[in-house]
Amino acid sequence: MRDARLDRRALVAEILERRGDAAVVAGLGSAAWDCHAAGDSPLNFYFWGAMGGAAMLGLGVALARPTRRVLVVTGDAELLMGVGSLATIAAQAPSNLALLVLDNEAFGETGRQAGLTGKNTDIAAIARGAGIASAFTVGGEVEVGSAGLNVQEGSAETDIDAPAATLAATLFEEEGPVLCVAKVALGAEPDSYPPRDGVLLQARFRAALAGD
């Protein structure tokens, strides 16, 4: 485990505060809880199951609504379960799609067992290998909204002045596909559960996108 970690819930809240009218697809577990804690919205679609499916759903939404920015918020283990999605995203290359991978290097929902990204697995490197050129890792201690992030790209590490607002601008404004791996602390934030009714979630999400 690395020493310096981002505050997961605070980071997600800071980023989503700057979302504008972006659609958000939240993978199951802590990604969904964090997105809901930041403020529920009809433009949020939360996964309660289908582990590994968030990135592909985000791709589908991005292709179906090319004028709408789409952000997928997911975890390291969830993304690795559907890692082939990165190659498909690279092949389709939607300019309006971004992915934020909350990497706590653990299987947080099943007992906090050590995960693969705490060993030799580098999700950003996998994404670049799949063809997503804009794929990078951020990690470090952040005072949300003011302090810098430590950015790692490839094997090099560079300290830059990149507050959460700058990361949000990258996720919501840079031409996609964009993938950011955020090294986050294995926290114990209070649960914040979105609606469990799948019919309701898909119906309101579809209605919110219908005007595009």
The residue-averaged pLDDT of 3-11 equals 78
The residue-averaged pLDDT of 88-103 equals 97
Query: Which residues does residue 98 pair with via DSSP β-bridges, in sequence order?
Result: 71, 178
- The top-scoring range by mean pLDDT among 47-51, 143-147, 174-178 is 174-178
In a domain, 128, yes or no: yes
Distance CA 103, CA 17 (A): 21
In a domain, 2, yes or no: no
**38, 16 contact by CB (below 8 A):** yes
For residue 67, pLDDT over 80 is answered with: yes
In a domain, 1, yes or no: no
What's this model's pTM, rounded to 2 decimal places? 0.85
Q: How large a percentage of the chain has pLDDT more than 90?
A: 60
- If you average pLDDT over every residue of the chain, what do you get? 84
Burial of 192 per CB tally in 10 Å (0-12, 13-18, 19+): middle
The better pLDDT of the pair 8, 175 is held by 175
In a domain, 3, yes or no: no
Q: How far is CA 3 from CA 52, 118, 124, 148, in A?
A: 28, 12, 19, 16
For residue 150, pLDDT over 60 is answered with: no
Give per-residue pLDDT as tens, 11-53: 999 999 999 999 999 999 899 999 999 999 999 999 988 888 9
> For the stretch 162-185, what's the b/e string if a residue is b when 16 or more beta carbons lie within 10 angstroms of its beta carbon?
bbbeebbebbbeeebbbbbbbbbb
For residue 62, pLDDT over 90 is answered with: yes
Q: What is the pLDDT of residue 113?
A: 64
Quote the tokens at residue 161: 């002045």
DSSP for 36-59, written as a single string: HHT---TTEEE-SS-TT-HHHHHH
Q: What is the pLDDT of residue 161?
A: 35
Domains identified in the chain, total number: 1
pLDDT band at 163 (very low <50, low <70, confident <90, very high): low
**8, 181 contact by CB (below 8 A):** no
In a domain, 168, yes or no: yes
Domain carrying residue 164: 8-209
Report the CATH number at residue 22: 3.40.50.970
